[in-house]
């Protein structure tokens, strides 16, 4: 996967030159929905609806079992396939796990890391996410790292502290020249599956904070090139307003991506 690159003023010494334009990424997170057969039926409806659409990068992240059949169904369409998680080791005695090389071997290019449901139900820590991020970079799978606060943290004014901790530990040990493919998805947990998206203004402001935190750690080129997606109750009707914001470089879509017509509308916001 390559983002559109445009010439910039040039990196400051010691910095790696990274994209100055950010191609929007619209990613579908199907969670634990759809069998392989249902995934292929989805592709049949979805592909004609988005044929020739090159403005945005589109990725679909189905459950593990549907990855390979879906990859075959969309091959040649320009649509990317992503996993919803992976293990940080290449192989080993890790019952029930799937590694980055295994994903790559069937044409998977993206992976969602640290989704709040995995942090909550599977007790994934910021350090787990960090290990997986290093593995994704090593194995050249595009990581979509999810961060976000719960309702209570926002109400108590702790949003930025929570995000900062997730960014600091999540990106620990990542060097600027390794960061080009990293995508961050800001998903306020109170907005996920609630039908209540963050307002474009709140999302934009929070994305700007995230970018400034990335800038502090990894420098201007990385921060300017990094795509920061918004996720949490994105719907066809709300996408344009969200994506019109300077700091919002795409969307991670759960519920509304399960219907091919609805997801196509989001892609073509
Ligand atoms: P939602 O889920 O769009 O259903 O709120 C988003 C996500 O969990 O990634």
Q: Which of 60, 148, 229, 231 to mutate to test the pocket of ligand 1 (most atoms within 8 A of CB)?
A: 231
pLDDT at position 21, please?
A: 84
Q: Which residues of the chain have pLDDT under 70?
A: 1-20
CB 82 near ligand 1, within 6 Å: no
CB 236 near ligand 1, within 6 Å: no
pLDDT at position 18, please?
A: 43
139 CA to centre of ligand 1 in angstroms: 26
Asked if 187 is an active-site residue, the reply is: yes
Give the predicted TM-score (pTM) of the model: 0.92
Q: Which of 253, 256, 257, 262 to mutate to test the pocket of ligand 1 (most atoms within 8 A of CB)?
A: 253
| Structural contact between residues 260 and 46, judged by C-beta atoms closer than 8 angstroms | yes
252 CA to centre of ligand 1 in angstroms: 7
Query: Domain ranges in the chain?
Result: 26-86+98-267
- Which residue among the candidates 68, 187, 207, 247 is catalytic per the annotation? 187
pLDDT at position 62, please?
A: 98
- Which residue among the candidates 115, 117, 149, 153 is catalytic per the annotation? 115
Report the CATH fold assignment for 26-86+98-267: TIM Barrel (3.20.20)
Query: Rounded to whole angstroms, what are the CA distances from 250 to 8, 57, 209, 238, 266?
Result: 22, 9, 16, 12, 10
pLDDT at position 7, please?
A: 32
| Structural contact between residues 136 and 170, judged by C-beta atoms closer than 8 angstroms | no
| Structural contact between residues 250 and 24, judged by C-beta atoms closer than 8 angstroms | yes
DSSP assignment of 228-257, as one string?
EEEESS--HHHHHHHHTSTT--EEEESGGG
DSSP assignment of the chain, as one string?
--------S-PPTTPPP--SS---EEEEE--S---HHHHHHHHHHHHHHHTT--SSEEEEE--HHHHHHHHHHHTTTT-EEEES--BSSSSSS-TT--BHHHHHHTT--EEEES-HHHHHHS---HHHHHHHHHHHHHTT-EEEEEE---HHHHHTT-HHHHHHHHHHHHTTT--GGG-TT-EEEE--GGGTTTS-PPPHHHHHHHHHHHHHHHHHHH-HHHHHH-EEEEESS--HHHHHHHHTSTT--EEEESGGGSSHHHHHHHHT-
pLDDT at position 224, please?
A: 98
CB 254 near ligand 1, within 6 Å: yes
pLDDT at position 113, please?
A: 98
């Amino acid at each position: 996967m390559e983002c559109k690159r445009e010439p910039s003023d040039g990196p400051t010494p010691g910095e790696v030159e990274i994209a100055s334009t950010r191609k929007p990424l619209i990613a579908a997170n199907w969670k634990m929905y759809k069998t392989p057969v249902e995934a292929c039926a989805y592709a049949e409806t979805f592909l004609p609806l988005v044929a020739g659409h090159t403005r945005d990068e589109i990725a679909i992240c189905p459950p593990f079992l549907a990855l390979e059949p879906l990859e075959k169904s969309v091959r040649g369409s320009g649509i990317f396939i992503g996993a919803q998680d992976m293990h940080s080791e290449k192989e080993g005695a890790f019952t029930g796990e799937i590694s980055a090389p295994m994903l790559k071997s069937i044409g998977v290019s993206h992976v969602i890391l640290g989704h709040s449901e995995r942090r909550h139900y599977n007790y994934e820590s910021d350090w787990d996410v960090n290990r997986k991020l290093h593995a994704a970079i090593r194995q050249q799978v595009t990581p979509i790292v999810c961060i976000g606060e719960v309702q209570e943290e926002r109400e108590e004014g702790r949003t930025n502290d929570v995000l900062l901790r997730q960014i600091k530990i999540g990106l620990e040990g990542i060097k600027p020249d390794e960061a080009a493919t990293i995508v961050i998805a800001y998903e306020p947990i109170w907005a996920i599956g609630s039908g209540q998206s963050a307002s474009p203004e709140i999302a934009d402001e929070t994305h700007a904070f995230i970018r400034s935190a990335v800038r502090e750690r990894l420098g201007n080129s990385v921060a300017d090139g990094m795509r920061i997606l918004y996720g949490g109750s994105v719907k066809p009707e709300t996408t344009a307003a969200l994506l019109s914001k300077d700091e919002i470089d795409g969307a991670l879509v759960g519920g509304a991506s399960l219907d091919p017509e609805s997801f196509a509308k989001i892609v073509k916001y």
